[in-house]
Amino acid sequence: MTASLTALVQGGGQAAAEAGHFEPFLPGLVVLLPLLGFVINGVLALQHARASADAVRGGSELALGDSASRPATHTLPTWVGPGVMLAAFLITLVNFTRMLGAHLEEPVVVHYWTWIATGTFTVDAAIQLDQLSMVMMMVVTGVGFLIHVFSVGYMKEDPGYPRYFAYLNLFVFFMLVLVMGSSYALMFVGWEGVGLCSYLLIGYWFSDREKADAGKKAFIVNRIGDAGFLIAMFLVFSNFGSLDYVPVFHDAEGLAYAGGLVTAITLFFFVGAIGKSAQIPLYVWLPDAMAGPTPVSALIHAATMVTAGVYLVARSSVLFALAPLSSAVVAGIGVFTALFAATIALKQNDIKKVLAYSTVSQLGYMFLGVGVGAYAAGIFHLMTHAFFKALLFMGSGAVIHSMHEAYHATHSHEDPQDMRNMGGLKDAMPITWATMWVATLAIAGIWPFAGFFSKDEIIWQTAAFGGAEGAAYSALYSLYWVIALAAAMLTAFYMTRMMVMTFHGTNRTGEEEKKHLHEAPAVMWVPLAVLAVLSVFGGWVNVPEALRSAWVGGMGILPMSEWLHHWLEPVTLAAHHVQEEHLGELAHSAPFGGGEVLWATISTAAAAVVVLVSLRVVAAQRVVPVAEDETELRGIAKVLYNKYYVDEFYDRVVVQPVVRFSRFCWKVIDAVVIDGVVNAVGWAAKAFGWGVSMFQTGTVNTYAFILTVGVLFILGATLL
């Protein structure tokens, strides 16, 4: 393992020298362990639900007691939930180190059984192990494990503790199916599964109407995107005759460059990605998803599930490289979302809403990356973002936890998530404060934190891609580049604002509450510390040669490498071939001149200036608690505070017409037309019966007469 870690630092090229055969180590268990956790926790949750229902029927309520006397349903998940995640992570680690030692050119597909076989259509239950799925598995199980551990502390007092862990484990299972499946069909299974878990966890406190509605909103908005994913799958199958990655990507190389078919497939896939990864115009569900428990926001709505769209594009890199129009759309939607969401984040007061819009914005950057053909850079940002955004969300969780208990102690009904009620928490929670600052500097793009390298790589690649010899829409990419730089500055501002409002300045919680503020317990702050370390050094695995030799890379002294880029090469190779063939050499200077090092320096310097200036500016602002806040927002501030009124717009344009149409279907089509037809049929049968019953005179002669007439009629008819 030490040798492998050395290889990790020195880059994949070295590992190739000691090339060996890659032998997968129990990959199926990585998927099954979280499922096992789900089953155990699910059974415990059902047991607890029954016990609780019995208690309510008996006229009392089930008390959970203090930590010593908790029932098994509330002690076992503590070990089962994070336990299966740790085991899955360790197995992934073994596989990862083995893959490091082997120079893997082709993906390894581990086949289990044939799941669907109808005619020419077959779907195998098979796992694809390659460099890309390995990175995703490491992020999902690694960050997932830390968040599970954090949840132990965060959800401790919640009566639904086992149910929470059951859902969380199920989510990880589906996420692993999504990233490890060997075909689009399996990816879709995971895709829908994580959507389901997202719905269940957003509406985890379902007795609150607003939270249940947020869950529904997420589910329904995602369906719109899923329709696109389905259509893309149909197109893939009807043209390639398979949904497995290996044959599809192999055949894809024969497709016409910029052809209609490949453009259609990729655009429909991207519609799916827009829904899942919360991009314009389907981003509206993600901020509402903050109704779920905060660790859920960290795991599902920041670190893993929402990045599935980026994974989809990176996985289909060959197809997207063949479709320059689709790539331009991906990059465009991404960069506009990055700017749009960043502006909204400027004026939010709910600490989780700021982070939610920040997530939308950062996802935009990832799409910009994969849109400009820098698939490794997109995945790189996905990885570093998973570190610092999970850290930020869990840090905000620690803050909310503390605020909640403070308000709980004084029976106050103030909002524990509103930053206007916070301020000065630094003294009470120094560890949370310090780790969150690390993440803030990382996301703001300050050297040498992780976010600097990943974000800068994407921005630089945008410039380089737009300036390539054969690049289509060259001017468009220059615009993207400018917007990306601007959005990076906004990121630095809104994150600093959040930190200052939460941790700095005077305390606004109230004198009595202040005494109850406390640092998070070890089970919560240790994951924060681990992620803080990753947020600092996580970016060092992918530093381009140009930067490494300049001051940015510590003149080659710091242990940095371009490892991730080389690592992902076998996956992105085909896409890069396509690019080289049709676009030629990428540019070596930005649209307004200047090389990679210069612009990296400019952007980190600008971000640092923004952070320092906004520290002053925000600290100078007078912030008052929500209860006393009577400021009337005006102009742009009001528009931003109300999120550009997009929700209202959708409500007016989409939701209300659908509701009205449904009401019409109910009141008119169903109640009048359908019920009318059914009632009319019944009424007609009754009327007919009444008419025919007139023949039933009860007199024998009538019957005899009719009989005779009938016989005569039949006789007459036959004779004629």
Partner 1 sequence: MITEALVLSAVLFVVGTFGVLVRRNSIIMFLCIELQLNAVNLSLVAFSRMWGIDGQIFVFFVMTVAAAEAAVGLAIIISIFRHYETVNVDSFNLLKW
Segment 159-218, which members bind partner 1 (CB under 8 A)?
none
Say whether residue 506 binds partner 1 (CB under 8 A): no
Is the Cβ of residue 118 or residue 693 nearer to partner 1 in the bound state?
693
β-bridge mates for residue 244, sequence order: 183
**CB-CB contact of 451 with 361 (8 Å):** no
Q: Residue 56 Cβ, how far from partner 1 at the closest point, in Å?
A: 59
In the bound state with partner 1, the residue whose beta carbon lies nearer, of 50 and 686, is 686
Residue 360: φ, ψ to 5°: -55, -45
- Judged by CB under 8 A, how many residues of this single chain contact partner 1? 11
666: which DSSP letter? Answer: I
| Number of helices and strands in the chain (H, E) | 31, 2
Q: Considering beta carbons, is residue 254 or 698 the nearer one to partner 1? A: 698
704 binds partner 1 per the rule CB under 8 A:
yes
Cβ(29)–Cβ(180) under 8 Å? no
Q: Give the shortest CB-685-to-partner 1 separation in angstroms.
A: 16
Q: SS in 3 state form for 94-136?
A: HHHHHHHHCCCCCCEEEEEEEEEEECCEEEEEEEEECHHHHHH
CB of 715 vs partner 1, minimal distance in Å: 12
Find the binder of partner 1 among 207, 238, 699, 718 (CB under 8 A): 699
Task: Map residues 597-616 to x or -, x wherever contact with partner 1 holds by CB under 8 A.
Answer: --------------------
Find the part of the chain contacting partner 1 (CB under 8 A) among 84-92, 155-163, 665-673, 698-706: 698-706
Say if strands 121-129 and 108-118 run parallel, antiparallel, or are unpaired: antiparallel
The DSSP 8-state label assigned to residue 615 in this structure reads H
* Identity at 132, one-letter amino acid code: L
Using rule CB under 8 A, residue 688 touches partner 1 = no
**What span, in angstroms and rounded, lies between the C-alpha atoms of 285 and 166?**
23
Q: How far is the CB of 693 from partner 1 (least distance, A)?
A: 4
For residue 173, give every residue at least 6 positions away whose Cβ sits within 8 Å of its Cβ, in sequence order, or none. Answer: 31, 32, 34, 35, 38, 193
Regarding 693 and contact with partner 1 (CB under 8 A), the answer is: yes
Helix (H, G, I), strand (E, B) or coil at 515: coil
CB-based contact 453:377 (threshold 8 Å): no
Cα atoms in the Cβ-side hemisphere of radius 13 Å centred on 363:
33
Q: Whole-number minimum distance, CB 709 to partner 1, in Å?
A: 10
The rounded distance, in Å, linking the Cα atoms of 607 and 585 is: 30
CB-wise, 116 or 707, nearer to partner 1? 707
2, 69, 207, 696: which one binds partner 1 (CB under 8 A): 696
Q: Using the rule CB under 8 A, is 701 a contact of partner 1?
A: yes
Is residue 402 a contact partner of residue 520, using CB atoms and an 8 Å limit? yes
Candidate ranges 345-353, 503-511, 611-619, 699-707; the one touching partner 1 (CB under 8 A): 699-707
Residues between 397 and 436 with contacts to partner 1, criterion CB under 8 A: none
Nearest to residue 286, comparing CAs of 214, 383, 213? Answer: 214
The pair of structure tokens assigned to 576 is 């890069």
Closest approach, Cβ 697 to partner 1, in A, equals 6
Site string for partner 1, 643-682 (x = CB under 8 A): ----------------------------------------
Residue among 637 and 709 whose Cβ is closer to partner 1: 709
Going 551 to 555 to 556 to 559, the CA torsion angle's sign is negative
| Binding span for partner 1 by CB under 8 A among 55-63, 161-169, 174-182, 703-711 | 703-711
CA dist., res. 245 & res. 238, Å (int): 15
CB 270 within 8 A of CB 129: no
Q: Which is nearer to partner 1, 621 or 708 (CB)?
A: 708
Q: Which is nearer to partner 1, 17 or 700 (CB)?
A: 700
Nearer CB in complex with partner 1: 55/712: 712
Q: Which stretch binds partner 1 (CB under 8 A): 27-35, 121-129, 444-452, 692-700?
A: 692-700
Contacts of 99 (CB under 8 A, 6+ apart): 22, 129, 131, 134
| For partner 1, the closer CB: 662 or 697 | 697
**Contact flag: residue 708 with partner 1 (CB under 8 A):** yes
Tracing tokens 């995602």 back to the chain, one arrives at 222
**Distance in Å, CB of 698 to partner 1, minimum:** 3
Q: Which of 68, 557, 620, 694 binds partner 1 (CB under 8 A)?
A: 694
CB of 667 to partner 1, least distance (A): 40
| Shortest separation between residue 712's beta carbon and partner 1, angstroms | 10
Pick between residue 238 and residue 701 the one whose CB is nearest to partner 1.
701
Q: Looking at the chain, how many residues does it have?
A: 720
Q: Which stretch binds partner 1 (CB under 8 A): 259-267, 483-491, 507-515, 695-703?
A: 695-703
What are the φ and ψ backbone dihedral angles of 26, each rounded to 5 degrees? 45, 50
Q: What does the alpha-carbon distance between residue 52 and residue 159 come to, in Å, rounded to a whole number?
A: 9
**Pairwise CA distance, residues 67 & 75, whole Å:** 9
* Nearest to partner 1 of 116, 711 (CB atom): 711
The DSSP secondary-structure symbol of 627 reads G
Residue with smaller CB distance to partner 1, 658 or 685: 685
Q: Does 700 bind partner 1 (CB under 8 A)?
A: yes
| Choice between 633 and 704, CB closer to partner 1 | 704
Instruction: Please classify residue 708 by burial: count the beta carbons closer than 10 Å to its beta carbon, then call 0-12 exposed, 13-18 middle and 19+ buried.
Output: exposed
Taking the C-alpha atoms of residue 47 and residue 438, their distance in angstroms, rounded to an integer, is 42
Does residue 118 touch partner 1 according to CB under 8 A? no
Q: What count of other Cβ atoms lies within 10 Å of the Cβ of residue 715?
A: 10
| Amino acid (one-letter) located at 144 | G
Interface with partner 1 includes 705 (CB under 8 A)?
yes
User: Is residue 697 at the binding interface for partner 1, with CB under 8 A as the rule?
Assistant: yes
Q: What angle do CA 390, 392, 397 make, to 5 degrees?
A: 90
* 59 or 689: CB nearest partner 1: 689
Q: Does 719 bind partner 1 (CB under 8 A)?
A: no
- Binding part of the chain for partner 1, among 57-65, 541-549, 563-571, 700-708 by CB under 8 A, reads 700-708
Nearer to partner 1, 53 or 707 (CB): 707
- In 209-367, the DSSP E strands lie at none
| CB of residue 57 to partner 1, shortest distance in Å | 56
Cβ 708 to partner 1, closest distance in Å?
A: 6
Burial of 91-114, coded b for 16+ CB within 10 Å and e otherwise, reads: bbbebbbbbbbbbbeebbbeeeee
Query: Which residues would be at the binding site for partner 1 (CB under 8 A)?
Result: 693-694, 696-701, 704-705, 708
